[in-house]
Structures are given as C-alpha cells and as structure tokens.
Structure 1
Amino acid sequence: MKKYELMTIYPLDDEKSKKGADDVKSTLAKFGAEIEEEKAFGDRDLTYQINKQKKGRFVLYTMKLNPSKIVEIGKDFKINMNLLKYQFVKLDERESK
C-alpha cells in the first residue's frame, strides 16, 4: 500500500456535500483504502465553472491505498453526482515519514 492525498470538491449545498463526502468515504472503504486524515479546506471560488457551479467545498484526504485500485475508484467517483472534481496525488515516501 502506498500513501496518497485525494483532493475533492463538492457543491456548496450542505446536503449535497455531505452526501458526496459519505459516498467518497464508502467508495474508498470498499476498495480497501485506509483514511488517515480528513481536512476541510472550506468554500472557495473555482477557476472555471463545473456543472454550473462557481464555488465549491474543498476536502483533502490522506490515505494508504493499493495503487491498482485507483482506476476502479475513479470509475465510481465519475458516477457520484455530488462530487464535482477529484485528484489523487501520490506522496513521496521520504516526505511522508
């Protein structure tokens, strides 16, 4: 298992962002990810509109995950209507210790 960060952007609507975050966490758990930290970055302006949204709610997850599962997780994320955007970043093992 390798260490990753996952930045997610949810709609500003409290109900949609909560549902989106719950779906993301359940998808990660389904594929064996071990979430170490969840950090809210608050509501921010988007560089460009996503699904007619000008602002989004940003949340960063730090986790351990099998690299072979990222593509499968991405497929599940694409059908999550309450997740505007996401990005996985592999952490350098020297920096994460």
Structure 2
Amino acid sequence: MRKYETIFILHPSLDEEAVKANVEKFKGVIENGGGVVDNVDAWGKRKLAYEINKIGEGTYTLINFSAGPELPKELDRVFRITDTVIRHIIVKDEK
C-alpha cells in the first residue's frame, strides 16, 4: 500500500451538510476500494488564486490515505463525474 493525498475544491454554494456528505462520499470510495483514510483536514472556504468558470472561492478539503495503485484512478473518476467538485488533485506522498 502506498500513501497518497488528495485536495479537492467544492462549489462555494454548498451548505455544511452537503460538504460533509461529499467528503463522506469520497472517504467511502477510498475505504470501499481497499484503502485506509489516515487524515481528513477541512480547510473551509477560501478564495481561489484565479476564477474557475466565474467562481472566485471554494471549500477546500485535504484527505491523506493509504491504498493500492489502482484506487487513485477510481477516485479520480468519481471526482470528475461529481458536479460539485471544481478542482481536484491526487498525488503520491513521498514522505
């Protein structure tokens, strides 16, 4: 199992319940795919460095997890089909 981290930005119009539901959905993808969630860090609403589709801010969340090499592909697919995700990135943690 390798260590990964993902940061994703959710649409700012979502309320706290919807943000929590999305975070739980992504944690479920990781855990159901055989991964282990190590840490979830909610950064809250922040201003974006540049506008994306005329949106100037978003709700940031960082998740550290351990998983096999196939799980990040599935997580990326789920991020891409989720309409509330503005941007996301998944990187292998080299620590």
TM-score in terms of structure 1 length: 0.81
Whether the 8 Å CA contact 1:31–1:73 is kept in 2: the answer is no
2:63 to 61, 64, 69: 61
Deviation, 1:22, is 2.2
Whether the 8 Å CA contact 2:26–2:75 is kept in 1: the answer is no
1-structure distance, mates of 2:51, 2:18: 17
Structure 1 counterpart of 2:89? 87
Change (3 A) 1:19 1:51: farther
Give aligned pairs, total: 93
Instruction: Say what the alpha-carbon RMSD is for the aligned residues.
Output: 1.7
Give the alignment of 1:27-38 within 5 angstroms: 27-38=29-40
Unaligned runs of 5+ in 2: none
Identity of aligned residues (%): 28
Deviation, 1:64, is 0.2
Deviation, 1:53, is 2.1
1-structure distance, mates of 2:51, 2:20: 21
CA deviation map 1:41-61 (0-9, x unaligned):
221111223344210111111
Give the alignment of 1:3-22 within 5 angstroms: 3-12=3-12, 13-14=14-15, 15-22=17-24
Whether the 8 Å CA contact 1:16–1:82 is kept in 2: the answer is no
Unaligned runs of 5+ in 1: none
